[in-house]
Structure 1
Amino acid sequence: MPAYVLGSTQQNQWRVSPEVVDTLRPTRQSRSATLETRNRSVIIDLNRSALVVVDMQNDFCHPDGWLGNLGVDINPARAPISPLQQLLPTLREADVPIIWLNWGNRPDKLNLSPALLHVYNPQGDGIGLGDPLPISGAPVLEAGSWAAAVVDELKPSEDDIHVNKYRMSGFQDTELDSILRNLDVTTLLFAGVNVDQCVLCTLQDANFRGYDCLLLEDCSATTSPDYCRDATLYNVQQCFGFVVNSTEILHQLKAD
């Protein structure tokens, strides 16, 4: 009798029949890329890598979004848009998974603690998570809303992967780790905002789980003071991974 395939990805499948269960995973050929970090080179396997784009959403990167309505200068948060526009199509052509890791809260906010609701609404009488924005009326960072959508300039493709998060770290209380394991990913490239907050927290948790972590300096940004970004870049390179530039990846892929 024919074998049937069980598994959501080619990288993690069984083949089963009434007579046998074949758990052998396919052997994958490596596709190396050598990238320059701040003090030496690092070699990664692009066939076991994925790009995680964090919080490039209207609420953080659009003038009519949450931070813009709070009077925050969102121009720094828009800095990753241009380099990501160059990087994303090239990674897709190379079959490197693109994961959009975005805030996408429940309408009833039952999974959000007071400590989370306190962020950017310290007095309780401002615009906080789930509250309607003055211009669009969209609820702040609520799943399915304009506020939580990726900015128009970075329209995801239908083959990209979407994961909602509810904390600064995208690994906390989400399916991100399970998805990455099914994809047989060991190396994560990080981009997005804010680099000293959600990007850093997710990168640290990835490091704690054993993933190899590379922060794309030109594809990440923050609306925080410059010293926050400087400290983040230092600590990533020192403790949690490597700081690289997306142009290094583009150069490697175009040279293949």
Structure 2
Amino acid sequence: ARCRELGVPVIHVHFLVHPGAPGFTLNAPLFEGLLDESAMVRGTWGARAVDGLEPQPGDHVVEKMRMSAWEGTSLETVLKAEGRDILIETGAWTNMSIEHTARTGADKGYVMVIPEDGCSTMNADWHRASIDYAMQNVALVTKVDEVIGALA
């Protein structure tokens, strides 16, 4: 909400597949599980945005079918159109989606800001491993309140 108030673009990245996941490569156990469970299928409950976090008018929506929000998506096109080189990244799967996106963003020359209390994953150990080790090398790890304060 604070980003919207200040005119900072809000970009939602949704992991979506079509029913049966045509064109979805099953080259990793995580991806096999998605197919086995019929998860993240466009138009189903499992692919809906979390209540209260739905895209609002003016927000951007980027769709992906890989762990990183960069791979095969329009993310970089949106960022260039908005003239942005700093990303505040929050969301699910700290040790997968958040980490992969942060690593690639850093490689591409973007400043990656990760408010650790705005991210989650399957368990505290995976979250801490990602935040305390991997992210320290590719991003500014901080807290949501610090980010909001810095935006003011």
Q: How high is the sequence identity, in percent, across the aligned residues?
A: 24
What is residue 114 of structure 2 aligned with on the other side? 215
What is residue 30 of structure 2 aligned with on the other side? 119
Q: Are the aligned partners of 1:190 and 1:216 in contact in 2 as well (CA < 8 Å)? A: yes
Q: Deviations over 1:218-249 (max 9, x none)?
A: 1011113x332222112212x10110111113
Q: Could you state the TM-score of these two structures normalised by the residue count of structure 1? A: 0.54
- Alignment partners' CA distance in 2, 1:158 and 1:236: 31
Unmatched tracts of structure 1, length 5 or more:
1-88, 123-127, 132-138
Bigger Rg, which one: 1
Structure with a larger share of its residues in helix: 2
Q: Deviations over 1:12-40 (max 9, x none)?
A: xxxxxxxxxxxxxxxxxxxxxxxxxxxxx
Q: How does 1:1-150 map to 2 (within 5 A)?
A: 89-116=1-28, 118-119=29-30, 128-129=34-35, 139-150=38-49
Correspondence 1:178 to 2:84: no
**How much has 1:152 moved relative to structure 2?**
1.3
- Alignment partners' CA distance in 1, 2:55 and 2:47: 13
Q: Are the aligned partners of 1:101 and 1:165 in contact in 2 as well (CA < 8 Å)? A: yes
**How much has 1:91 moved relative to structure 2?**
1.1
| CA 158–129 in structure 1, closer or farther in 2 if over 3 Å, else same | farther
Unmatched tracts of structure 2, length 5 or more:
none
Letter in 2 for 1:227: D
- Alignment partners' CA distance in 2, 1:106 and 1:184: 32
- Alignment partners' CA distance in 2, 1:211 and 1:188: 7
